[in-house]
Structure 1
Amino acid sequence: MASKHLIQGLKRSALTVALGLSFVGAVQAQTNTAGAVGGRATAGDTITVSNPATGFTRTITVGADGTYRFAQLPTGQYTVSRNNGSPRTVNVSVGGTQNVDFVAAGGGDAQTLDTVTVVGSGAVNPIDISSVESTTILTAEQIKKIPVAQNTTAVALLAPGTVRGDGAFGNLASFGGSSVAENQYYINGFNITNSFRSLNFSQVPFEAIAEQQIKTGGYGAEFGRSLGGVINQITKRGTNEFHAGGNIYYTPEELSETSPDAYLSNPLSPNFGRLRSDNSKDNGWQYTANAWASGALVKDKLFAYALISYGKQNNDAWGAVNTDQNTATEQKNPKWLLKMDWNITDNHILELTAFSDKSKQYIDTYNNTPGQTDRFNFIGTTYNEQGGENYVLKYTGYLTDTFTLSALAGRGEFSRSQKLIAPDGSVASYDGNIHNPDQPGCPIVGDGRSAARIAATGLYSSSCNISGGQLNRLDSGDTRKQYRLDAEWQLGDHLIRFGYDRDDYESIAGVALEGGSQWTYLTDDHGTDDESDDTDIVQQQIFSQGSTVKVKQHAYYIEDSWNITDNFIAYIGGRWDTFENINGIGATYVKIKDQFGPRLGFSWDVFGDSTFKVFGNAGRYALPLTPSVAVRGASASIFSVETFTFTGVNPVTGEPTGLVSNGDQFFANGEDGFAKAPQAIASKNLDPMYQDEYILGFQKQLTDHFSIGVRGIFRDLKAAIDDNCDAGALLTAAGFQNVGGHWMRGGREAVLPNPGFPYCRMFNPGNDAVWVTDFFNDGNFETTTVPGSALAPKAKRTYSALEVFFDGNWDKLFLQGSYTYAKSKGNTEGGVKSDIGQGDTSTTQDFDYLELMTDTYGYLPNDRRHSLKLFGSYQLTDEWAVGANLLVQSGRPVNCFGVLDLDPGPDYVPHQYGGAFMRCGPTTRGGSNDTSVAVPRGTKGRLPWTNQIDLNVAYTPNWAEGLTLKMDIFNVLNSRKVTSVNEVAEVRATGLPSQTYLLPLTWQQPRQVRFMVQYDF
């Protein structure tokens, strides 16, 4: 009879070599481009791993401790053999370690393990007991089988602990309660995050993705600069066998539903229930065509995979009510990717990844009759360009049996260019010169005069303004240069990994108002109630900014996975990050050196057979300041305000003529075109934004076909970075006194703001700030410590969750899913502010003034208490398969933002931030002692639960080998619940209820049908 150890060893080996797809909730090893094979054998044995598809082969000798490991193996299917014995087949996925033992647990030799029977393809994946990370891996085969959009975020949202972020920031995911600006994105080990605001990333042609790894927590020390999650994609690659093919995805307009109409929803508004936006004619269609080929240029040595992709999308947005303009948008997405692999020798590999994700968007603007869905008078086109080319070179060297080294160098470009095209074909663009900018396009015109004056002269407006706002400079864009060096060294029971990465990022950025100015017509009543002497004046605002800013960042890391016993691994790691932010004149305004991020964890293979694992980890993660902070906050900008009398108005542009200045020009916020002093921008004791994370869980193999896991997560934000704009707190700390609105000290009045006294300054909310300031604009800088209690409360954000995840895989069926119960509480969401759709990363209105943070502690915008995810596929016959994807989720909390009345008496004196406070008033305002009342964060209820069912059917006919026809139906039941609303409840000018409070802003994506035709050969 076999011993207990031998039986356990047989079971472990059978599970380890099981074929199948990667699974949700898996816990994977720390690597970002490859996988590994390891295990135990007899000292002196020779172990060989081979990839028949590429001819790659490596052989190592088992050390005295009886362990072996093949590190940094490119993903794919391998055979593993001992002493040229019978081979076993294993699938190597990114970040995973496949354990293949040739001795029984406990060290005894077990020759019969060489002939162990491999479990069939319907078996569930074995549990990776070598790692402490929380990771989901989804392969191209899985993604094809389920109804899911062909984009990175849609796939990431299948993982437990992820929720869709606010629609104001595009198609992004929130991980574990963090804001959507706190994630990192990689392709083949290269960082593709658009770090300008961290609200975008390069889009590899999705058809080229072989695997997508979604790290939701506990990731190792080699990953940093993220408080949310990490999305790591691996592209397809060539093999010795030639493959080619193509497909087309098409979503027709005729089978797509529209969003509901929007109605005014504030019950305190006299217009409650009135139609606000007619969406009945909104429509759109899209298609994407892909063609690819792969194979060996030199058998067993040089391989290539190439793909070209072209997509086009058209959308009409009519918005008929309460507007006189509508738009038609066309987007073109030409993309390509080339992946080349050169097996120089069995010990040296060189990889090249090159891709382009340039896209072009044309937004045509038309006039319409207010209240009607018609279209006339083409005004012009806004042209947006995004994306660029990326090139990455990676070397992997297996220098000894126990030491592996990899080096990566890459360069990426990302355009954010914009220009305007008039109906006559003339082009207007902003050149970035803030002192003498071009006058791009047609100015913005608004009419704020009294009803009597408008009735007398008619409404003043522009009939040629295209964008309605700001225009990015023509050369806006970003350049990344990244270098990595990673090493792995097996020292007996210790697996040591260490490395260095450098990531330098440069952004050319800036905006100006279309037409150079915003003109607002006003009524001058000359201080009397007699309307007969009213006259018209006009206010001009000029705003422009533009600079080239940089972030230089590098990090060192080291980590050790220590096999204390055969079935218990302890993990310890450390990461040291340095961040340096540089403004538009090349001066450093923030530098944080060697920020330490410890990482600890364990993995316990309870029974020693890889069927039951208990794991846990704790770590600290830091986030740098984005480059966007420096464009306005630390570089030169102009914000000029001036009033004029005028004699006439241009009937086309709406611009005033015959201007005479009233001599009242001033520069708002001190933005007068001079660069801010770099030493005055940020607190000298500034810490990076960082948080601590704790995870404890287990994963259990219940049968050969089904496993389940449970994971508890707690995240605690320890420090945030934001800006504070309350000059009074700084002046008070510096010994100034407010005398009739003048800040005086020693008989001198402070000059504020000025280049050495910026309007807003960076700090860690809740901590004392140490600011260097030129109070008198005389070149003398003073260091002042301002108590944190005078500026803002400590930034707080916690996330606690319990995740239950499972993976089932049978011969014809795979089924995966999760349920998450989570709470996200605090007084700040993080980098952005979903409550009001503010995407100014790290410079939101939070913490600008102490009073802004009153009653702000509560449930945060990414708080989705319940999330149920279930997806899978069933093979009905050899030719027919069906797939399904279910998401049920509770709604986000709703707030009530109102004004702060600075005069509780009969006079209404609003705070300059308007409806930005956690306060809401009664049905009327303006009377004696009529003040708002506190409405703490998240106490105005929640948006409704959402549910969505997606289905698909695929037909792969036997009579046409290589042909696949598929139809996906997204949101089969056409559920269109509201997913965000306007949360500003009071109007700044009057304090009265806003009629647009609770107005729906976004809904669930309505039902769509997508068709696919694919042919492979």
Structure 2
Amino acid sequence: MLKKTVVAHALSVAFMASVVSTAAVNTAYAQSTTGSVSGKAVSGTVIVASNPAIGASRSVTVGKDGIFQLSQLPPGAYTVKATLPNGTEQTEAVVVNAGQGSTANFNEVASVTVSGSLVSRIDFKSPESSTVLSKAAIDRIPVARDVTAVALLAPGATRGDSRIGQTALRAGNVPSLGGASPAENVYYINGFNVTNSLNGVAFNQVPFDAIGTQEVKTGGYGPEYGRSLGGVLSVTTKRGTNEWKGGVNVMYSPESLEGSALYPVKGTDGKWHNAKRAGGTDDLQANVWLGGPVIKDKLFIFGLVQGADIERKTYDSSQQDVTTSKSPKYLLKADWNINDSNTLELTAFSDKAKDKVDTWKSPNQYGEQKGDFKGHDDYTTGGENYIAKYTSWLTDNFTVSGIYGVGRYNRKSNISTADCPYITDRRVSPVLQYGCATTTSIDDPNANDERKAFRLDAEWTIGDHGLRFGMDNEKYKVVNGTFYPGADNYRVTTLASGGTLAGGYTNNTGASQDIVTVRRFINGGAFETENSAYYIEDNWQVTKNVVASLGVRNESFTNKNASGATFIEVKNTWAPRLGLTWDVSGNAETKVFANAGRYYIPVMSNTNVRLAGAETDYTDVYAFNGSFANDRLGLPAMGAKLGNTVVSGDGTAGDPRSVVDPNIKPMYQDEYILGIQRALANRWVVGGKVTYRKLKRVMDDMCNGPGAEQWAAANGYSAGQAATIGSTVDHCFLYNPGGDLTANVDFDDGKGFTRVVIPSSALGFPKPERTFKALELTFERPWDGKWSLQGSYVMAFSKGNTEGYVKSDIGQDDAGISQDWDFPGLMEGSNGYLPNDRRHTFKIFGAYQLADEWRVGSNIVVQSGRPKNCLGVYNGTLDEVSVDYGSSSFYCNGVLKPRGSQGRLAWTTEVGVQATYQPKWQKGLSFQVDVLNLFNERTTTAIDEQAEAAAVGSVSATYMRPVSYQGARKVRFTAAYEF
């Protein structure tokens, strides 16, 4: 029960309150907002865990098996007191972190002790793989101030392609976890899902200094978690305590100390080289926070406000941008201990940001001289979130908690040059832009998302069984749309002699020919998605040293089109989760663990927008007459139209029954892990594990109408019926690639839809494949007030013919609607090492207290490069349509060059350092400097892999051109005062 109890702390609690709470495996409870204490003691012992800072105390009596567990504990420093049946008492200091299980063991001795043991015991009950870092631990590590940067400290975490999640203003910044695509993670704040479900590559964030702990689950997580094939990133915010505490800090990263921006230049040797250019970011931020008791032991509040003055200058080949961001962000948290058995938590936060962008023409490529002013644009991202959580300890053995939340995410823009078409000359490198457009595409000015969600979780201990069960429901509304500025996008390229365009034109002039490709693309609408699930798990204490976790999760997904009609409904997917832990020595010092699980991911709302919305998409090609207009539009001079119009979308939304296989099943993955963890003397913990993940099913769109028509014509359908089947499928159909397709076809015979089953052999697609195999070795020595050290080595193999929900090869983050699987030719040669494959990764970070006033820290990451491809115009025989996709197949200059066969990018090395001064002359005052990427390593991390411009043999001027580098060196100064 929750009691107004204050227990004197042992001195060791002060140390443990700032422990780097990171381990290879830990237990999660209630979406990682609480933790637990488990252990062993003599039967009949009364265990009391007390946290006077928040007035919390829980107690339990040890049963006949000698095992105890106290769950649903709010994070913090606890004193665990054991009163043995013979009257003797023992105490041990532990730290409970959100999502982590702590251990305290007691022996039958006749003395009172305060344990400060140098042997770090591990959570012997959990088979999960996770990394948990407290904010105090994060502050001792030189990292960028965002959730992704902290997540990348975890073993097996890799930074995703910078084009995935990219906006008009910022490069993408999402991790790939366990070989999954960057769109397959799920993000939580205080137990509330904040993932942007449009395409899974964005999420809401609290101000960085409002983080209490951050947990990264990279595998083996229990059935309370779903909607993820990659990992779970969970943040628990700071909260008020029985002592009023507050502070203020100021952080400044000057542009003058930032490493130079780069741009690629093609040398006379035919290779790409880096050249320096002006530009950079001047970043000034400040935080003010205060928290404490409104009523001691009963009601606590915490609030933080973050202000910013950020200016980013970008000097590109054709234009210059100056972006300013000054939006405040905040967190408000209230915790109410209603009585001994009930608590209520309220959280409100905002990460809404308004960016203002001024754009000028650039008279000199990458130069600082400003030309004519082009326009002023405004962008809005992020939004407000409100969360309520109620917890009730109905008995010592039965706990129930409930969460309800509302979250919003904006993607609004106000583009002053919306009437200016985007025009590029791609015959040269760098690419030149003409005209007055300030952005490549425009989102619906009213684009936004809203999530309303609730969940219930319960824990019930019955003898040797710890039952956990619950359910959740999320309703997601999205308003989205995209269109080109000025309605059309113009690209000037060169068509080689003999080259054939998608519209049927062949260059028979005997020489190369300059052409203009004009594409019009418009889509959008308002859509709804609903995801629901329930789960149950039995943590069964099989023997005193063996725990089996037997669980299952059931999930359902519903997606609606722009008119509100359901076009995808998947019910009752069963995901078993099985785990086993063995406390080898019986003292929580050596653990062997294993688990197996199945994980599903929902259909992203992007599928609603692209497949079930009205979409106009057509392309025309004209001869280029050699010049651009001198007016503000800068339109290219065009001659005769070359070939026919290629229509991919006619502007109408089809019947929802005619665009989705009625038997469709959601995307899922199976995972198997085997590991060992060992606690050594002097706080050291080492571990090792092997992981195997296999993608079992994919959900994507397919457009192979010709294949369907040929099959129908050969299997008894009339010519007219076969043509109808082909045109129905040609509209693009959502189904499970590699299997049979069931299509609802309207033969216009007055009978409505007729179901037609088209065998997989007629569609010509391979079975989807993606496997992840990894060996992971870890070590950890948590902070003890003097020093800490942690690191990992991971050898991993990520291989297959699909990355998953996105396609990093070309920077496409159309989750579930990628160009993969559209036609068989695009998948020919696609099996190989995937974009997130990194063979070797070394990570090490830590801190050392040099003297009473001085502390230093470091963070080092060394990683091998990603595989390279040579993409070109399709030149195979599997279909006649893949050629229309341009440089998108694994045929390169007419020759099949399978995925990943062109070598790898170079290794990357990044070193961060930190120095902190905490003067004795003023308690609470500190000064800190962080240098990220100390040696300013600027290795290329992604390249343009598209080798051909318009047809086979038409060489692209930008092939192999770097599209992203390691981030430039940044220096961050911080001054803080806490009281």
Normalized against structure 2, the TM-score is what? Answer: 0.89
Task: Compute the displacement of 1:622 (Å).
Answer: 0.5
Instruction: Go from structure 1 to structure 2 and tell me whether the alpha carbon gap of 1:380 and 1:20 turns closer, same or farther (over 3 Å shift).
Output: closer
Match of 1:33 in 2: 33
Instruction: Go from structure 1 to structure 2 and tell me whether the alpha carbon gap of 1:497 and 1:656 turns closer, same or farther (over 3 Å shift).
Output: closer
1:132, 1:617 within 8 Å by CA — same for their partners in 2?
yes
Task: Compute the displacement of 1:284 (Å).
Answer: 1.9
Task: Compute the displacement of 1:81 (Å).
Answer: 2.5
Match of 2:971 in 1: 1009
Distance of 1:521 and 1:938 partners within structure 2: 29
Match of 1:146 in 2: 141
Moved more, 832-841 or 895-904: 895-904
Task: Compute the displacement of 1:749 (Å).
Answer: 7.7
- CA displacement, residues 752-785 of structure 1 (integer Å, 9 cap, x when unaligned): 987x656211111211111112356988423222
For residues 938-977 of structure 1, the aligned pairs below 5 Å read 938-977=900-939
User: What amino acid maps onto 1:244 in structure 2?
Assistant: G
Matching of residue 708 in structure 1 with residue 686 in structure 2: yes
Instruction: Go from structure 1 to structure 2 and tell me whether the alpha carbon gap of 1:511 and 1:778 turns closer, same or farther (over 3 Å shift).
Output: farther
Q: Helix, strand or coil for the counterpart of 1:383? A: strand
Q: Helix, strand or coil for the counterpart of 2:805? A: coil
2:890, 2:899 within 8 Å by CA — same for their partners in 1?
yes
For residues 563-712 of structure 1, the aligned pairs below 5 Å read 563-639=541-617, 652-654=631-633, 668-669=647-648, 671-712=649-690
Q: Helix, strand or coil for the counterpart of 2:482? A: strand
Distance of 2:693 and 2:904 partners within structure 1: 23
1:729, 1:786 within 8 Å by CA — same for their partners in 2?
no
- CA displacement, residues 262-308 of structure 1 (integer Å, 9 cap, x when unaligned): 1237xxxx882587x85421222212211100001111111001000
User: What amino acid maps onto 2:487 in structure 1?
Assistant: G
Match of 2:101 in 1: 97
Match of 1:773 in 2: 745
Match of 2:79 in 1: 79
Match of 1:850 in 2: 824
Match of 1:926 in 2: none
How many residues are treated as equivalent by the alignment?
A: 936
Q: Helix, strand or coil for the counterpart of 2:115? A: coil
Match of 1:437 in 2: none
1:18, 1:124 within 8 Å by CA — same for their partners in 2?
no
For residues 302-701 of structure 1, the aligned pairs below 5 Å read 302-319=299-316, 323-371=317-365, 373=367, 374-421=369-416, 440-445=418-423, 463-467=435-439, 469-518=440-489, 542-639=520-617, 652-654=631-633, 668-669=647-648, 671-701=649-679
Task: Compute the displacement of 1:661 (Å).
Answer: 13
Distance of 2:933 and 2:128 partners within structure 1: 33
User: What amino acid maps onto 2:564 in structure 1?
Assistant: G
Match of 2:718 in 1: 745
Moved more, 893-902 or 190-199: 893-902
Distance of 1:777 and 1:506 partners within structure 2: 37
Task: Compute the displacement of 1:63 (Å).
Answer: 4.7
Distance of 1:1005 and 1:63 partners within structure 2: 55
User: What amino acid maps onto 1:201 in structure 2?
Assistant: F
User: What amino acid maps onto 1:587 in structure 2?
Assistant: A
Distance of 2:132 and 2:809 partners within structure 1: 32
- CA displacement, residues 3-60 of structure 1 (integer Å, 9 cap, x when unaligned): xxxxxxxxxxx99x97762444431113121011234455555433322112223344
Distance of 1:824 and 1:48 partners within structure 2: 47
Match of 1:784 in 2: 756
Q: Helix, strand or coil for the counterpart of 1:168? A: coil
* Equivalent of residue 899 in structure 2, options 933, 937, 959: 937
Matching of residue 813 in structure 1 with residue 792 in structure 2: no
Q: Helix, strand or coil for the counterpart of 1:194? A: coil
Match of 1:195 in 2: 197
Instruction: Go from structure 1 to structure 2 and tell me whether the alpha carbon gap of 1:124 and 1:388 turns closer, same or farther (over 3 Å shift).
Output: farther
Match of 2:501 in 1: none
For residues 18-167 of structure 1, the aligned pairs below 5 Å read 21-31=19-29, 32-41=32-41, 45-63=45-63, 67-83=67-83, 85=89, 87-102=91-106, 104=107, 110-112=108-110, 115-119=112-116, 123=118, 125-167=120-162
Match of 1:9 in 2: none
Match of 2:959 in 1: 997
Q: Helix, strand or coil for the counterpart of 2:680? A: strand
2:18, 2:134 within 8 Å by CA — same for their partners in 1?
no
Matching of residue 263 in structure 1 with residue 260 in structure 2: no
Match of 2:280 in 1: 283
Distance of 2:958 and 2:517 partners within structure 1: 26
Distance of 1:219 and 1:812 partners within structure 2: 33
Q: Helix, strand or coil for the counterpart of 2:376? A: strand
Distance of 1:720 and 1:947 partners within structure 2: 35
- CA displacement, residues 915-961 of structure 1 (integer Å, 9 cap, x when unaligned): 1121223xxxxxxxxxx222111111111111111111000000011
2:423, 2:635 within 8 Å by CA — same for their partners in 1?
no
Moved more, 37-46 or 786-795: 37-46
Q: Helix, strand or coil for the counterpart of 2:937? A: coil
For residues 812-831 of structure 1, the aligned pairs below 5 Å read 812-831=786-805
Distance of 2:637 and 2:863 partners within structure 1: 59
Moved more, 744-753 or 137-146: 744-753
Q: Helix, strand or coil for the counterpart of 1:516? A: strand
User: What amino acid maps onto 2:312 in structure 1?
Assistant: N
Instruction: Go from structure 1 to structure 2 and tell me whether the alpha carbon gap of 1:582 and 1:967 turns closer, same or farther (over 3 Å shift).
Output: same
Match of 2:768 in 1: 795
Q: Helix, strand or coil for the counterpart of 2:608? A: helix
Instruction: Go from structure 1 to structure 2 and tell me whether the alpha carbon gap of 1:111 and 1:376 turns closer, same or farther (over 3 Å shift).
Output: same
Moved more, 80-89 or 185-194: 80-89
Q: Which structure is larger by alpha-carbon Rg, 1 or 2?
A: 1
1:420, 1:441 within 8 Å by CA — same for their partners in 2?
no
Task: Compute the displacement of 1:518 (Å).
Answer: 4.4
- Cα-Cα RMSD: 3.5
Distance of 2:435 and 2:867 partners within structure 1: 40
User: What amino acid maps onto 1:792 in structure 2?
Assistant: F
* Equivalent of residue 832 in structure 1, options 791, 806, 822: 806
2:778, 2:793 within 8 Å by CA — same for their partners in 1?
yes
Q: Helix, strand or coil for the counterpart of 1:142? A: helix
Unaligned runs of 5+ residues in structure 1 are: 1-13, 105-109, 423-439, 450-459, 738-742, 922-931
- CA displacement, residues 828-849 of structure 1 (integer Å, 9 cap, x when unaligned): 1111111111111111111111
Match of 1:427 in 2: none
Distance of 1:660 and 1:856 partners within structure 2: 38
- CA displacement, residues 419-444 of structure 1 (integer Å, 9 cap, x when unaligned): 1136xxxxxxxxxxxxxxxxx43234
Instruction: Go from structure 1 to structure 2 and tell me whether the alpha carbon gap of 1:372 and 1:951 turns closer, same or farther (over 3 Å shift).
Output: closer
User: What amino acid maps onto 1:798 in structure 2?
Assistant: T
Distance of 1:412 and 1:368 partners within structure 2: 40
Match of 1:238 in 2: 240
- CA displacement, residues 316-358 of structure 1 (integer Å, 9 cap, x when unaligned): 2212xxx432322223342100011000012100000110000
2:120, 2:589 within 8 Å by CA — same for their partners in 1?
no
User: What amino acid maps onto 2:811 in structure 1?
Assistant: G
2:704, 2:729 within 8 Å by CA — same for their partners in 1?
no
Task: Compute the displacement of 1:735 (Å).
Answer: 2.9
Q: Helix, strand or coil for the counterpart of 2:348? A: strand
User: What amino acid maps onto 2:930 in structure 1?
Assistant: D
- CA displacement, residues 793-841 of structure 1 (integer Å, 9 cap, x when unaligned): 1110111111000111455110001011111111111111111111111
1:27, 1:133 within 8 Å by CA — same for their partners in 2?
yes
